[in-house]
């Protein structure tokens, strides 16, 4: 155990029932989560859901109205930011324009009166980590946006924080650079082994980088899980809708089988099957959620007894390169499904035309039954 650390059982940051109110706004509403040592953990949600406020409380820039925050097992109460072994990287990296890259990175250490030899070694090490070893003598204006963001990262890493907080750090970069930096950040985090807590409203970014994600809305945490759990097994409609694309069908449970499979009747009278996320009795109002890539369209009727098979009319077909997006009419709604344009299905792309009839079907476990 490191000196000064309380027992933490591998938990870097522990939020227990944390509430933050600003006058009549409840920005963070009874949030509890445990972030593990060395984890890349993202808080994901729409604008105003309380991500930044949660991060600022971990950093010590704000204090909870109620609830408690522990850093490595120690309650931090009203400990100020500089007494927490936590650093923050913001979207606006605010580098000093008149200083070189090395001077920018050294700034905090200089303020702490770090001995020059130690400082120089740590600055070199931090710049190497972000692959800017050859840029130490440049000024910020001589760097690209991505390189400036890496200087901001080096400036945080040079302090050897136990936890690095990142508030939409890639938000100012263009899409291509953003994607490159996502992969780079993930590999950097794996190399340094520091706990990263990353705030974003971009679901693809969170799925790409995170070990686990907390999905937030209106100040609350709705689900915490790995990217696969969040995408494949969303616990509520908001999460299913916010992460990726999905078709929602409202209905009522008709019967329940073993293995958590249920048959529902949709509001417009269609019978279909899906996997329940939690057990619900017959007659409960539910929503079926089916991802567009988890349903299939066949030319021929599938074998008798294939569950969830509905004869449908093709309404729209859009070829988008990697796949073809097809809207079919299923009862009262349009149902969106995506077919991958792999070699084997190239001919199919030419085949489906608006106005044609096909057979839409999905295995029951490909559809999720949600109650909230
Ligand atoms: P964004 O992605 O837009 O940054 P967010 O999810 O990070 O949003 P927060 O910045 O944490 O959300 O804000 C949560 C709520 O708290 C919002 O309604 C916001 O207006 C409010 N809020 C945040 N800071 C303050 C403050 N200092 N005073 C009053 N209200 C605040």
Instruction: Write the ipTM.
Output: 0.96
Residues 273, 302 share a domain: yes
Ligand 1 geometric centre to CA of 190 (Å): 30
What is the distance between the alpha carbons of residues 200 and 333, in angstroms, rounded to a whole number?
A: 32
What is the distance between the alpha carbons of residues 27 and 48, in angstroms, rounded to a whole number?
A: 8
Instruction: Quick: pLDDT tens for 304-355.
Output: 777 789 999 999 999 888 888 999 999 989 999 998 876 555 555 457 889 9
Ligand 1 geometric centre to CA of 95 (Å): 25
What is the distance between the alpha carbons of residues 359 and 339, in angstroms, rounded to a whole number?
A: 14
Q: Which helix (H) or strand (E) holds 369?
A: strand 367-370
Residues 130, 53 share a domain: yes
Instruction: Quick: pLDDT tens for 269-310.
Output: 999 999 998 888 899 999 999 999 999 998 888 887 777 899
Domain boundary among 240, 267, 295: 240
Determine if residue 363 is left, alpha or beta; phi over 0 gives left, psi from -120 to 50 gives alpha, anything else beta.
beta
Tell me which residues have their CB closer than 6 angstroms to ligand 1.
22, 25, 27, 45, 47-53, 201
- Span 44-72, mean pLDDT? 96
Whether the pLDDT of residue 266 is over 50: the answer is yes
Which residue's alpha carbon is nearest to atom 26 within ligand 1?
A: 22
353 Cβ neighbours under 8 A, 6+ residues apart: 314, 317
- Span 232-255, mean pLDDT? 95
Which residue's alpha carbon is nearest to atom 29 within ligand 1?
A: 22
Measure CA of the first residue to CA of the last residue in the chain; give whole Å.
Answer: 43
Q: Which atom of ligand 1 is nearest to the CA of 199?
A: 7
Please count the structural domains in the chain: 2
Distances (CA, A) of 358 to 7, 247, 344: 61, 18, 18
Residues 134, 42 share a domain: yes
Domain annotation covers residue 249: yes
Q: Which atom of ligand 1 is nearest to the CA of 23?
A: 29
Q: How confident is the model at residue 4 (pLDDT cuts 50, 70, 90)?
A: very low
- CATH code assigned at 355: 2.40.50.100
Domain annotation covers residue 36: yes
Residues 35, 181 share a domain: yes
Domain annotation covers residue 5: no
Torsion, Cα 285 287 288 289, to 10 degrees, reads -170
Domain annotation covers residue 251: yes
Residues 328, 204 share a domain: no
Instruction: Quick: pLDDT tens for 163-204.
Output: 999 998 888 778 888 888 888 889 889 988 999 999 999 999
Domain boundary among 240, 269, 294: 240
Distances (CA, A) of 26 to 56, 64, 77, 238: 15, 11, 19, 19
Ligand 1 geometric centre to CA of 26 (Å): 9
Going edge to edge, which strands form the sheet with 25-36? 25-36, 11-22, 66-71, 74-75
Work out the angle at residue 88's Cα, subtended by the Cα atoms of residues 82 and 92, and round it to the nearest 5 degrees.
125
Domain annotation covers residue 113: yes
Domain annotation covers residue 2: no
Residues 174, 34 share a domain: yes
Residues 250, 146 share a domain: no
Which residue's alpha carbon is nearest to atom 22 within ligand 1?
A: 27
Ligand 1 geometric centre to CA of 64 (Å): 14
Segments in 35-115 forming alpha helices (H):
51-59, 101-111
Strands (E), 86-237: 86-89, 163-167, 195-200, 212-217, 220-225
Burial class of 125 by CB neighbour count within 10 A (0 to 12, 13 to 18, 19+)? middle
19, 44, 52: residue to mutate for ligand 1 pocket, most atoms within 8 A of CB: 52
Taking only Cα atoms into account, the Rg of the chain, rounded to an integer number of angstroms, comes to 25
Query: 273 near 366, Cβ under 8 Å?
Result: no
Domain annotation covers residue 3: no
Which residue's alpha carbon is nearest to atom 28 within ligand 1?
A: 22
**Taking the model in full, what pTM does it have?**
0.89
Ligand 1 geometric centre to CA of 185 (Å): 25
Which residue's alpha carbon is nearest to atom 21 within ligand 1?
A: 27
Q: Which atom of ligand 1 is nearest to the CA of 62?
A: 27
- CATH code assigned at 93: 3.40.50.300
Return mean pLDDT, the chain: 90
Query: 191 near 130, Cβ under 8 Å?
Result: no
20, 27, 172, 217: residue to mutate for ligand 1 pocket, most atoms within 8 A of CB: 27
Q: Does residue 362 sit in helix, strand or coil?
A: coil
Ligand 1 geometric centre to CA of 28 (Å): 9
Q: Which atom of ligand 1 is nearest to the CA of 55?
A: 11
What is the distance between the alpha carbons of residues 228 and 173, in angstroms, rounded to a whole number?
A: 27
Residues 347, 329 share a domain: yes
Instruction: Quick: pLDDT tens for 66-104.
Output: 999 999 999 998 899 988 999 998 877 789 999 999 999
Residues 256, 228 share a domain: no
Residues 254, 109 share a domain: no
What is the distance between the alpha carbons of residues 22 and 181, in angstroms, rounded to a whole number?
A: 34
Residues 181, 203 share a domain: yes
Query: Containing domain of residue 259, as a range?
Result: 245-370
Q: DSSP character for 303?
A: P
Residues 287, 181 share a domain: no
């Amino acid at each position: 155990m490191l000196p000064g650390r309380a027992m933490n059982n591998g938990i870097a940051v522990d939020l227990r029932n944390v509430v933050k109110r600003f006058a009549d706004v409840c920005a963070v509403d009874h949030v509890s989560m445990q972030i593990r040592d060395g984890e890349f953990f993202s808080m994901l949600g729409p604008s105003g859901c309380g991500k930044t406020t949660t991060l600022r409380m971990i950093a010590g820039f704000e204090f909870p109205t109620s609830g408690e925050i522990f850093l490595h097992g120690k309650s931090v109460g009203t400990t100020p930011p500089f007494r927490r072994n936590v650093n923050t990287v913001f979207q606006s990296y605010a580098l000093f324009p008149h200083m070189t890259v090395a001077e920018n990175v050294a700034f905090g250490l200089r303020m702490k009166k770090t001995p020059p030899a130690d400082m120089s070694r740590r600055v070199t090490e931090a710049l190497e980590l972000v692959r800017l070893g050859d840029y130490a003598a440049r000024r910020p204006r001589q760097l690209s946006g991505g390189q400036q963001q890496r200087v901001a990262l080096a400036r945080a890493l040079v302090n050897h924080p136990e936890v690095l907080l990142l508030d939409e750090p890639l938000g100012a970069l263009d899409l291509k650079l953003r994607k490159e930096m996502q992969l780079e950040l993930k590999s950097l985090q794996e190399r340094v082994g520091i706990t990263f807590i990353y705030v974003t409203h971009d679901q693809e970014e969170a799925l790409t980088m995170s070990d686990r994600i907390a999905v937030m809305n209106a100040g609350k945490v709705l689900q915490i899980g790995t990217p696969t759990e969040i995408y494949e097994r969303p616990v509520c409609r908001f999460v299913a809708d916010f992460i990726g694309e999905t078709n929602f069908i409202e209905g009522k449970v008709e019967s329940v089988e073993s293995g958590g499979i249920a048959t529902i009747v949709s509001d417009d009278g269609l019978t279909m099957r899906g996997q329940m996320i939690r057990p619900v009795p017959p007659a409960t109002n539910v929503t079926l959620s089916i991802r567009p890539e988890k349903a299939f369209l066949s030319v021929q009727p599938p074998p008798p007894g294939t569950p969830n098979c509905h004869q449908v009319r093709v309404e729209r077909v859009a070829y988008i390169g990697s796949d073809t997006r097809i809207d079919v009419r299923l009862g009262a709604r349009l149902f969106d499904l995506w077919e991958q344009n792999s070699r084997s299905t190239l001919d199919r792309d030419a085949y489906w035309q608006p106005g044609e009839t096909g057979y839409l079907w999905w295995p029951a476990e490909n559809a999720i039954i949600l109650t909230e």
